[in-house]
Amino acid sequence: MRLLQPLFRWDPVEAEFSNHARVQGMLDFEAALARAEARAGVIPASAAPLIAAQCRAELFNMDELAQSAARAGNLAIPLIKRLTALVAATDNDAQRFVHWGATSQDAIDTGLVLQLRAALLLMESEFETFSSALAHLAETHRATPIAARTWMQQALPTTFGIKAAAWLDAINRDRLRLAAARRNAEVLQFGGAVGTLASLGAKGLDVSKALAEDLHLALPDLPWHTQRDRIAEVATALGLATGTLGKIARDISLHTQTEVAELFEPAAPRRGGSSTMPHKRNPVTCAVVLSAAARVPGLVGTMLSAMVQEQERGLGGWHAEWETFPEIISLAAGALHHLTATVSGLEVDTARMAANLELTRGLLFAEAVQMALGKTLGRQQAHDLIEAACQRAQKENRHLRDVLAEDAAVSKHLNKEALAKLFDPAQYLGVAEQFINRVLAAHAAQNAKKNPAKEGR
């Protein structure tokens, strides 16, 4: 079903896992294999361009491949048969060297790696855009007061800037993990029937080196047919990243509640509406991202379970990856893309944030007063005194500051000016700004390292 693709997916990444791209990835392997074997003197030099010329996905009927794969057990078998026929139609001698010395898994896995590289590079660029949007929020709102909430209740004052900085800090860790996982996975798969390349005799390593160079992939120390840690690492990194995106979406959605109303997804015609309630402005992106965060962990679990493969060729475990892995990438990419657009245009109501700080009539400043009194009374005595005052303020529906101002035990140590200062949110933010500075500095350093040309600007 493609009806929901615009809601949950991101077209550029989807294109990397289309039927065409899947077939083209395997054909790119076959073309590079022919060139590498010709270069190593394994097949005639004249055969390579003839084989490569037919390695174009548009020459293959996808429906026929699908039906044949259902009988053969994988896509590579019917694909190679069709490729051989295409080459034979132009040169009967060259067709003898199609897929020479390789096995189906070599074509399938290396094709996947090529798809994976393209998709993850797109995602890394989008993550950079997303992190920049978060950095802008952290910088812009470094001093914007907001109520911090623990256990879903107002706790103490904080700033929206440090909340955005916390999102940014986590996302930047995800960026590093994903880039490392991609580099670890960008390796050639080429081992022949059982991983020894016996069919190529003494030329096996020469062909492997030339093939890896042609495809711009790293050459592993040996084939990895049933060692799936590289692929599982990417899946796990994407699972963690999707979890981070989900946490951000959860926070934003909570701030969009009518009773809170501090944040809003960007407004647009027909966006977030209801079929029956004209007033609704639903957090659509948050729903999409939270959906991905609910779905991806189970898929990652499948990838981890699929690592336990038999001897030199997996039975079922390898097959379990074929649909699962692209689904993880697709869902993670869609969540990332949609949340990037939303955060880049996020509407921030600073006035409502300030107003919400007064909802408890001063109760969220109770710790600040307690700490000030504790310097002379001791922590426990100050805690008991302020706790009783809070209960009185709630019972009498009064502001805590007014209740404390009437308390002789408090006024003995804190005059009205000192007490008023303790109810100023800007005076009880600790080292929030320093934390923001540290995250922003780390973000700038990470981006400069990724883009060395920017360092001198």
| Residue with the two structure tokens 């390898």 | 318
Say how many Å lie between the first and final Cα of the chain, rounded. Answer: 47
Inter-residue contact 343 to 130 (CB < 8 Å): yes
Q: Which of 96, 173, 313, 352 is catalytic?
A: 313
Q: Is 239 exposed, middle or buried (0-12, 13-18, 19+ CB in 10 A)?
A: buried
- Nearest residue to 321 via CA among 242, 237, 240, 226: 226
- Let me know the angle formed at the C-alpha of 106 by 331 and 118, rounded to the nearest 5 degrees: 35
What span, in angstroms and rounded, lies between the C-alpha atoms of 255 and 253?
A: 5
| CA-to-CA dists, residue 199 to 104, 107, 202, 335, angstroms | 14, 16, 9, 45
For the question of residue 274 being annotated catalytic, the response is: yes
What span, in angstroms and rounded, lies between the C-alpha atoms of 266 and 281?
A: 10
- The SS3 assignment for 14 reads helix
What span, in angstroms and rounded, lies between the C-alpha atoms of 36 and 301?
A: 37
What span, in angstroms and rounded, lies between the C-alpha atoms of 301 and 326?
A: 14
Q: Phi, psi at residue 143, to the nearest 5°?
A: -115, 10
Q: Phi, psi at residue 237, to the nearest 5°?
A: -60, -40
For the question of residue 313 being annotated catalytic, the response is: yes
Strand boundaries in 160-295, DSSP class E: 263-264
What span, in angstroms and rounded, lies between the C-alpha atoms of 400 and 89?
A: 89
- Cβ neighbours around 414 below 10 Å, total: 20
Q: Is 199 exposed, middle or buried (0-12, 13-18, 19+ CB in 10 A)?
A: middle
Q: Which of 46, 125, 271, 274 is catalytic?
A: 274
| Residue with the two structure tokens 């005052």 | 389
DSSP string, 68-89: HHHHHSSSHHHHHHHHHHHHHH
Catalytically active residues are: 274, 313
